[in-house]
């Protein structure tokens, strides 16, 4: 077994496709070695081995093109890596001027806002900050949430909730029923400063089912969607996934952004030694703990999980404390930790209570608990060893409850542990606390918050298991790097031409050879095509052409706005018709892209659109006319441009065809072309 696991730990999880059909269980792990094949590159071999292991664990896997590295086998071979979490658009980076007059829907966790103390940098304070920022920027706000009615029956009344929010925000909040009443209120109040609050989403079954029609109703009249419910990102809901298909921009709020950053810190190996304190139960967490073992230098087990690991080490444990369903998972984890040299710290002693006299407490060594006694807390020797080991750490993750299932009160050991961790956090030790009980215990023992805290442990466990964070993946992507244009082009003062959806790059490279007085940039989602294009740029010695793998729909503004010279031409040619269906989330020509192009193209600059599918060309033209802010006009007949009667250009105005355009012409089919001009008076 250790042979099977030793290759897994110590390496970053690769980019792999979803495996939904794997049916191998833990007891089949011994068979995995028979299926392993070895390639020339050791990093690629590790990727292949991990694929088999992850299949053996029978998980729903994420498409790691969006999440975990390695990004591809080539990058694995040369040692380059990518960021663990996808970069998404955030309120912080979204152009503030684009919020003016827009209807912005904010999905928030109302429970956090209403129950928490509004300390600076608390989750509630960050959510409120998002709402106030959007309101001040001139957006018309619609709030969307679900909340429990058990704590306070008055929450049944939407009017009461609106009053509470008005008090917290110091802004007028108006309750609105979903349906025609919402649409009417939005029309009537669009230019007023009041904020609308929709009904409690927990009342609608369509929310949990991610009903498309329900999502459409929620987003009626909405321009921009802002997600502030990070803790529900692992769920597929109409209000965090479905709704994004009907808004032209979907971005993360301040709180969502902060939670993403904290989640990322868990898997960063920037400081060593890095130890994880793991509480709670072991059941269902095997893969997550394997991943932690690949990142951490040591694992400290407390709570019920400790008994499962003790049993795997062969230590005597009362059988009523052993989770039968976790036996194999515990053995796998122990062997994996041994293979990588990960230190495992287990309790040395426990405070126990008597089954018949609960008021009686006694300390027992961990391996000699007498029948009739149950552990309720870690003992002094355990705490002493934990303090000794953890005091040498530069980074600590505390995830899960310290108390045992038989304990109904706060653990004294947890309180002492929290105090020790607080002291360490004052001495250049990074501390991350995960879980409601752990966070409450830490806050209770600290004079001020000095740790990164994620109250909802479920989403962290789901992430560590490699599960999809659907609510996160539904948001618009952002480009994660600031470009050094001087490293890309020989002369950055030259005008820039951008080909959106550059494909195999033939059009752009041919144009670059013909026009040495321009720089050319291809934006393409397909990373394999981009790598081929960059190889060609390198081999040909081209100094005025470059390609970037990105979703230009959401990253165009960020990338192009920093270019030192003028943007003189943007081309969008033959986008895949399947990506232009209205309901498709990632259709290329969306309002956000059109507005960015209209803003960034220089006066007298041009936009070239063409497709061999008339419906696609018509829709692209409509989008640019509707959302071009009046800055773009269609160029008609001139000495150099011939047009059909319906306005389409007969010929390609640049004299260079893309490979698909050439294919269409050769088979005698028509091309539908359009050239737009930005007026010289437009800034």
DSSP string covering 285-351, please? Answer: -HHHHHHHHHH-SEEEE-TTHHHHHHHHTT----GGG--GGGHHHHHHHHHHHHHHT-EEE--SEEE
Domain stops at, among 239, 262, 285: 262
Q: State residue 336's pLDDT score.
A: 93
Tens digits of residue pLDDT in 238-255? 999 999 989 989 999 999
610 and 491, same structural domain?
A: yes
Kindly indicate the confidence band of residue 304, based on its pLDDT and cuts at 50, 70 and 90.
Answer: confident
Residue 589 has pLDDT above 50, yes or no: yes
pLDDT at position 406, please? 52
Rounded distance between C-alpha atoms, residue 29 and residue 331, angstroms? 12
Asked whether 459 and 224 are in contact (CB, 8 A), the reply is: no
Confidence category of residue 644, pLDDT binned at 50, 70, 90: low
Lowest mean pLDDT among 23-27, 120-124, 394-398: 23-27
pLDDT of residue 84: 56
Q: Please compute the mean of the pLDDT values over residues 573-599 and round it to a whole number.
A: 72
Considering the chain, what is the average pLDDT of its residues?
81
Helices (H), 545-609: 552-560, 591-600
Among candidate residues 578, 524, 581, the one with its CA nearest the CA of residue 555: 524
In 22-122, alpha helices (H): 42-56, 73-78, 110-115
**How far is residue 529's CA from residue 525's CA, in Å, rounded to a whole number?**
8
- Do residue 409 and residue 303 come from a single domain? yes
230 pLDDT more than 60: yes
Same domain? For 281 and 422 the reply is yes
* Residue 135 to residue 142: CA distance in whole angstroms: 10
251 and 290 in one domain?
no
Is 629 part of a structural domain of the chain? yes
Where do the H-state alpha helices sit in 16-85? 42-56, 73-78
Question: Beta 545-549 vs 452-454: how paired, if at all?
Answer: unpaired
38 is a domain residue? no
Residue 133 has pLDDT above 50, yes or no: yes
Does residue 90 carry a pLDDT above 60?
A: yes
State the pLDDT at residue 114. 74
Cβ atoms 563, 522 nearer than 8 A: no
In contact, 244 and 469? CB cutoff 8 Å: no
Q: Percent of the chain having pLDDT more than 90?
A: 50
Nearest Cα to Cα of residue 337 among 368, 374, 298, 364: 298
Q: Which two tokens stand for residue 388?
A: 């000794």
Whether residue 120 has pLDDT greater than 60 = no
pLDDT band at 283 (very low <50, low <70, confident <90, very high): confident
User: Same domain, yes or no, for 129 and 165?
Assistant: yes
Other residues' Cβ atoms within 10 Å of the Cβ of residue 40: 7
Give me the mean pLDDT over the 89-112 stretch: 91
**How do the residues of the chain divide into helix, strand and coil, expressed in percent and rounded to 5?**
40, 15, 40
Provide the pLDDT for residue 377.
Answer: 87
Strand arrangement of the beta sheet that strand 361-365 belongs to: 361-365, 349-354, 373-378
300: pLDDT strictly greater than 60: yes
Given a contact cutoff of 8 angstroms between Cβ atoms, the answer to whether 10 and 294 are in contact is yes
Domain of residue 180: give its range.
Answer: 96-262
- Per-residue pLDDT, 27: 32
Whole-structure pTM value: 0.77
Q: Provide the pLDDT for residue 53.
A: 40
Token readout for 589 is: 């020509």
Query: pLDDT tens digits for 505-527?
Result: 999 999 999 999 999 999 998 99
Mean pLDDT calculated for residue range 70-83: 30
CB 601 within 8 A of CB 568: yes
Task: Give the whole-angstrom CA distance, residue 546 versus residue 488.
Answer: 7
E strands along 113-238, which residues?
140-144, 173-176, 195-198, 224-227
> Among 178-182, 260-264, 404-408, 492-496, which stretch is predicted with the lowest mean pLDDT?
404-408
pLDDT band at 274 (very low <50, low <70, confident <90, very high): very high
Same domain, 304 and 319: yes
User: How much is the average pLDDT of 261-267?
Assistant: 91
pLDDT at 37: 30
Tell me the per-residue pLDDT of 44-63, one tens digit each, with 9 for 90 and over: 344 443 443 434 333 333 33
The per-residue pLDDT for 587 is 63
User: In residues, how long is the chain?
Assistant: 683
**Spatial CB neighbours of 151, under 8 Å, sequence gap ≥ 6:** 115
- 326-367 pLDDT, tens digit per residue, is 889 999 999 999 999 999 999 999 999 998 888 889 999 998
135 and 197 fall within a common domain:
yes
In angstroms, the CA 619 to CA 610 distance is 11
- Would 597 be classed as within a structural domain? yes
Asked if the model's pLDDT at residue 216 lies above 60, the reply is: yes
Instruction: Please tell me the predicted confidence (pLDDT) of residue 501.
Output: 93
**Contact status, residue 218 vs residue 204, Cβ threshold 8 Å:** no
3-state SS, residue 234? coil
Confirm whether 510 is domain-assigned.
yes
Q: Which two tokens stand for residue 662?
A: 């050439």
**411-417, long-range: CB < 8 A, 24+ apart:** 411/376, 411/377, 411/378, 412/351, 412/377, 413/302, 413/351, 413/377, 413/378, 413/379, 413/382, 413/383, 414/377, 414/438, 414/441, 415/441, 415/444, 415/445, 416/383, 417/277, 417/302, 417/383, 417/386, 417/441
- Predicted local distance difference test score (pLDDT) of residue 48: 41
Cα 114 to Cα 140, 151, 164, distances in angstroms: 22, 12, 8
Which of these ranges, 151-155, 364-368, 418-422, has the smallest mean pLDDT? 151-155
Binned at pLDDT 50, 70 and 90, residue 121 comes out as low
pLDDT at 271: 92
The whole-angstrom separation of Cα 83 and Cα 70 is 9
Q: Which parts of 456-544 fold into alpha helices (H)?
A: 457-464, 470-473, 485-488, 506-514, 527-540
In a domain? residue 422: yes
- Cα–Cα distance measured from residue 228 to residue 143, given in angstroms and rounded to the nearest whole number: 10
In this model, does residue 539 exceed pLDDT 80?
yes
Q: What angle is formed at CA 605 by the lines to CA 600 and CA 609, rounded to 5 degrees?
A: 90
> 3 versus 386: which is more confidently predicted?
386
- pLDDT score at 474: 92
Average pLDDT over residues 134-147: 94
Q: Which two tokens stand for residue 257?
A: 């952004």
Q: Are strands 672-678 and 632-634 parallel, antiparallel or unpaired?
A: antiparallel
Instruction: Please state, in angstroms and rounded to a whole number, the distance separating the CA atoms of residues 486 and 563.
Output: 10
Same domain, yes or no: 101 and 204: yes
* pLDDT confidence bin for 680, thresholds 50/70/90: confident
Q: Which of 262, 281, 299 is the last residue of a domain?
A: 262
Nearest one of 340, 250, 350 to 297, comparing CA atoms: 340
pLDDT(554) > 90: no
Residue 421: DSSP 8-state? H
CA distance 506 to 642: 25
As a whole number, mean pLDDT of residues 620-629 equals 92
Percent of the chain at pLDDT above 70? 79
Average pLDDT, stretch 360-387?
Answer: 90
Q: What is the distance between the alpha carbons of residues 304 and 377, in angstroms, rounded to a whole number?
A: 10
Q: What whole-number distance in Å separates Cα of residue 587 and Cα of residue 199?
A: 31
- pLDDT for position 2: 34
pLDDT at 31: 31
Q: Are residues 529 and 415 in the same domain?
A: no
Give the pLDDT band (50/70/90) at residue 158: confident
Where residue 7 falls (left for φ over 0; alpha for ψ -120 to 50; beta otherwise) is: alpha
Specify the number of domains making up the chain: 3
Question: Last residue of some domain: 200, 229, 262?
Answer: 262
pLDDT at 482: 84
* Averaged pLDDT for residues 615-619: 90
Same domain for 254 and 277?
A: no
In a domain, 399, yes or no: yes
CATH number of the domain encompassing residue 524: 3.40.50.150
Say if residue 574 is preceded by a cis peptide, omega within 30 of 0.
Answer: no
Bigger pLDDT: 238 or 321? 238
Give me the pLDDT at residue 403, please: 67
What is the CATH number for 148? 3.40.50.1260
Q: What is the pLDDT of residue 22?
A: 34
15 falls within a domain: no
Decide if 357 is inside a domain: yes
Top-confidence range, 27-31, 70-74, 639-643:
639-643
**Is 163 found in the same domain as 117?**
yes
Mark whether 427 and 501 lie in a shared domain: no
**pLDDT score, position 334:** 94
CA 292 to chain CA centroid, nearest Å: 19
Lowest pLDDT segment from 187-196, 408-417, 583-592, 611-620: 583-592
Residue 547 has pLDDT above 90, yes or no: yes
Helix/strand/coil for 189 = helix
């Amino acid at each position: 077994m250790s042979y099977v696991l030793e290759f897994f730990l110590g390496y970053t999880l690769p980019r792999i496709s979803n495996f939904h059909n794997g049916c191998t269980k833990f007891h089949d792990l011994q068979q995995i070695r028979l299926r392993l094949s070895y390639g020339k590159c050791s990093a690629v071999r590790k990727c292949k081995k991990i694929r088999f292991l992850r299949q053996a664990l029978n998980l729903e896997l994420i498409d790691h093109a969006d999440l975990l590295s390695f990004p591809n086998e080539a990058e694995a071979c040369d040692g380059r890596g990518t960021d663990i979490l996808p970069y998404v658009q955030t309120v912080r980076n979204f152009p503030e001027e684009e919020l003016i007059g827009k209807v912005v829907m904010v999905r928030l966790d109302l429970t956090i806002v209403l129950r928490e103390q509004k300390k600076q940098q608390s989750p509630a304070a960050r959510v409120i900050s998002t709402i106030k920022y959007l309101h001040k920027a001139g957006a018309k706000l619609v709030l969307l949430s679900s909340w429990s009615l058990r704590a306070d029956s008055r929450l049944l009344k939407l009017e009461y909730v609106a009053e509470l929010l008005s008090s917290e925000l110091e802004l007028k909040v108006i309750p609105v029923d979903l349906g025609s009443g919402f649409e009417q209120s939005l029309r009537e109040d669009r230019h007023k400063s009041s904020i609308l609050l929709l009904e409690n989403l927990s009342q609608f079954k369509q929310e949990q089912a991610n009903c498309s029609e329900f999502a459409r109703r929620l987003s009626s009249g909405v321009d921009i969607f802002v997600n502030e419910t990070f803790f529900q990102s692992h769920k597929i809901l109409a209000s965090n996934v479905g709704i994004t298909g009907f808004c032209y921009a979907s971005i993360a709020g301040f709180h969502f952004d902060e939670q993403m950053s904290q989640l990322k810190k868990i898997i960063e190996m920037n400081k060593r030694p890095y130890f994880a304190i793991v509480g709670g139960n072991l059941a269902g967490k095997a893969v997550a703990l394997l991943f932690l073992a690949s990142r951490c230098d040591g694992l400290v087990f407390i709570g019920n999980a400790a008994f499962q690991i003790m049993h795997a080490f062969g230590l005597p444990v009362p059988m009523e404390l052993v989770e039968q369903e976790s036996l194999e998972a515990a053995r796998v984890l122990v062997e994996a930790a041994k293979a990588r040299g990960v230190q495992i710290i287990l309790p040395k002693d426990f405070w126990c209570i008597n089954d018949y006299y609960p008021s009686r407490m006694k300390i027992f060594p961990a391996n000699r608990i007498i029948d009739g006694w149950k552990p309720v807390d870690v003992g002094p020797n355990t705490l002493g060893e934990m303090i000794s080991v953890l005091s040498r750490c530069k980074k600590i993750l505390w995830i899960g409850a310290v108390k045992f299932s038989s304990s109904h009160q706060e653990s004294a050991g947890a309180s002492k542990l929290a105090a020790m961790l607080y002291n360490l956090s004052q001495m250049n030790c990074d501390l991350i606390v995960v879980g409601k009980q752990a966070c409450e215990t830490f806050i209770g023992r600290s004079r001020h918050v000095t740790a990164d805290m994620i109250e909802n442990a479920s989403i962290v466990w789901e992430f560590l298991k490699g599960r999809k964070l659907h609510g996160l993946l539904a948001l618009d992507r952002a480009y994660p790097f600031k470009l050094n244009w001087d490293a890309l082009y020989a002369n950055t003062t030259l005008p820039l031409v951008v080909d959106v959806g550059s494909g195999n790059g033939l059009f752009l490279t041919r144009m670059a050879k013909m026009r040495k007085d321009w720089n050319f940039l291809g934006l393409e989602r397909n990373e394999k095509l981009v790598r081929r294009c960059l190889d060609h740029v390198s081999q040909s010695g081209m100094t005025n052409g470059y390609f970037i793998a990105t979703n230009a729909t959401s990253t165009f503004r960020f990338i192009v706005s920093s270019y030192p010279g003028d943007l003189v031409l943007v081309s969008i040619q033959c986008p895949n018709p399947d990506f232009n269906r209205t309901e498709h989330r990632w259709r290329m020509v969306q309002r956000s892209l059109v507005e960015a192009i209209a803003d960034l193209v220089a006066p007298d600059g041009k936009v070239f659109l063409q497709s061999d599918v008339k419906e696609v060309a018509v829709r692209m033209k409509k989008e640019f006319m509707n959302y071009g802010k009046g800055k773009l006009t269609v160029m008609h007949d001139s000495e150099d441009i011939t047009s059909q009667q319906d306005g389409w250009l007969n010929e390609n105005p640049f004299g260079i065809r893309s490979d698909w355009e050439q294919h269409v012409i050769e088979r005698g089919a028509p091309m539908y072309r359009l050239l737009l001009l930005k007026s010289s008076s437009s800034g």
